[in-house]
Amino acid sequence: MRQGDEGTTAYLIQSGAVSVFTEQSGERVELARLETGQIFGDTALIFDGRRTASVLAVEDCNLIIITRQAFQEKLKKSDPTVRALLTMLSNRMMTNNNTMLQNKSTVDDLSQTAQMIYQNYADSLPADKLEDLQDMVLPALQNFFSALDEFQKKHS
């Protein structure tokens, strides 16, 4: 299943595992890893439109295909309260997914945020406590930045 494709089916994982990811600016961002008993592509059962993520099997999988038509027929037979609740929850899910995608941070963002938090905290301390902060926290923070740099070099 590819991001951007037209979607009309969802899949129930009977066995195996998949990776759900998006591609942003040419970079793959994993959103979830799903296993037996979980469903992917479920947005297509409720909303018209294109797939918002891609899915790739990371283990051999057996899947059950759920078509939009079959789902809608079952939904029509359910209580109106259940239908309203499902619509509301689906809208929330889409909003949360979009927010999560927009807020995915890069290693540089993480480093800048950590520096800013440290500096803001240091600025709030009285002068007599600042030296202790620098002695106790700054070395660990520098190690953190070094580890981030190594991680970025390894995975770039």
Question: What is the structure's pLDDT at 112?
Answer: 78
Question: What is the structure's pLDDT at 19?
Answer: 95
Among 85, 93, 11, 103, which residue's Cα sits nearest to residue 54?
A: 11
pLDDT digits 0-9 by tens, 100-134:
666 556 667 777 788 888 888 888 888 889 889 88
Residue 51: domain span? 9-103
Residues 15 and 70 in one domain: yes
Residues 55 and 93 in one domain: yes
The arrangement of strands across the sheet holding 9-15 comes to: 39-40, 9-15, 62-67
Whether the per-residue pLDDT at 24 is higher than 80: the answer is no
What number is the average pLDDT over the span 135-152?
85
Question: What is the structure's pLDDT at 33?
Answer: 94
Question: What is the structure's pLDDT at 61?
Answer: 98
Tell which phi-psi region holds residue 25, choosing left (phi > 0), alpha (psi between -120 and 50) or beta. Answer: left
* Distance from C-alpha of 93 to C-alpha of 79, rounded to nearest angstrom: 21
Question: What is the structure's pLDDT at 94?
Answer: 78
Average pLDDT of the chain is 87
Number of domains forming the structure of the chain = 2
pLDDT digits 0-9 by tens, 29-61:
888 899 999 999 988 898 888 898 999 999 999
Q: Specify the higher pLDDT residue, 59 or 87.
A: 59
Q: What is the pTM assigned to this prediction?
A: 0.59
CB atoms within 10 A of CB 73: 10
Give the pairing type, strands 39-40 and 27-35. Answer: unpaired
Whether the per-residue pLDDT at 98 is higher than 80: the answer is no
Residue 2 inside a domain? The answer is no
Question: What is the structure's pLDDT at 104?
Answer: 56
Q: Residues 6 or more apart from 114 whose CB is under 8 A from it? A: 141, 144, 145
CATH number, domain at 72? 2.60.120.10
